[in-house]
Amino acid sequence: MTAIRRGRTRRAVLVTASCALAVTGVMALSGCGGGDDPDAGTNGVGKLPAGTIQSRTRAAADGAPTVRLSGTVVTSGRTYRLDMRLKADGGTGSVTSQGAAFRLLRIGRELYLKAGADFWDHADGKSGDGTVGKLDGKYVKVPQGDPAYRKFSGFTDKDVLLDGLLTLHGKLATEGHHDQAGTPTVRITGDKGSGGTLDVSLRGTPYPLRLVRAGGAGTLRFSDWGRGFALTEPSPSDTVDYGKQLPAS
């Protein structure tokens, strides 16, 4: 009886050891395969065709309530450096162009521009009448009929900016996996990069994170997707209502 029990015990130990080795082997193989897969643990958009990735990231951007946009935009031969926070009903931030810096604030349809004397000093025909001193460092309410309203309000409009920016031109293709500030991304291109490149997050929602515009028209980074912020109307003491038209600057 003792010999029989010992035989059964040895067989049980061998079976257990064999099972353990088999499981270990499977895990090792799985581990090797997972380590070579750049899409393991991601949101999966890296496996999709470039056109589908672009559609997914556009939908994600449109659905986000807020975003921060920073970088450069070249339009009509002029370079603008932006750092804007945008939401559905307005936006706020700074813009620099040709050495002149100013701040924009839009709440609903009300647009305010705040700049120093160096910005206003070029005001057409106004520099000698004290206008610059009145506007220096104040939030100037921009009349909706003024050319400056149309020109600058677009910088504070999330939908307008994203619609104009998040489009690559030419034949779309994927260009491998990359990294933006520690976030893994998949890059899509238009015409091998000449039509622009866009890095899309592989972590969580597939938001756009970095855009290089076609034709050297600027590079932009997108962050703080969905992070709330307040838009506060400036106090009357810090606001100037210039009337129907701003000085031409």
Domains of the chain: which residue ranges? 46-228
Task: Name the β-bridge partners of 91.
Answer: 86, 106
- Positive or negative torsion for Cα 119, 120, 124, 127: negative
Spell out the alpha helix ranges (H) of the chain. 2-35, 50-63, 117-120, 131-135, 147-153, 158-165
Give the range among 65-79, 120-134, 196-210 with minimum mean pLDDT. 120-134
CA distance 225 to 163: 16
Q: Look up the pTM and report it.
A: 0.79
Task: Give per-residue pLDDT as tens, 185-237.
Answer: 999 999 999 999 999 999 999 999 999 999 999 999 999 999 999 999 999 98
Pairing of the two strands 239-241 and 219-223: unpaired
Q: Which two tokens stand for residue 116?
A: 């120093």
Contact 125, 166 (CB under 8 A): no
| CA distance linking residue 24 with residue 232, whole number of Å | 60
> Can you tell me the distance from the alpha carbon of 176 to that of 106, in angstroms, rounded to the nearest whole number?
38
Can you give the pLDDT at residue 146?
87
pLDDT of residue 27: 39
Fold topology of 46-228 = outer membrane lipoprotein receptor (LolB), chain A (2.50.20)
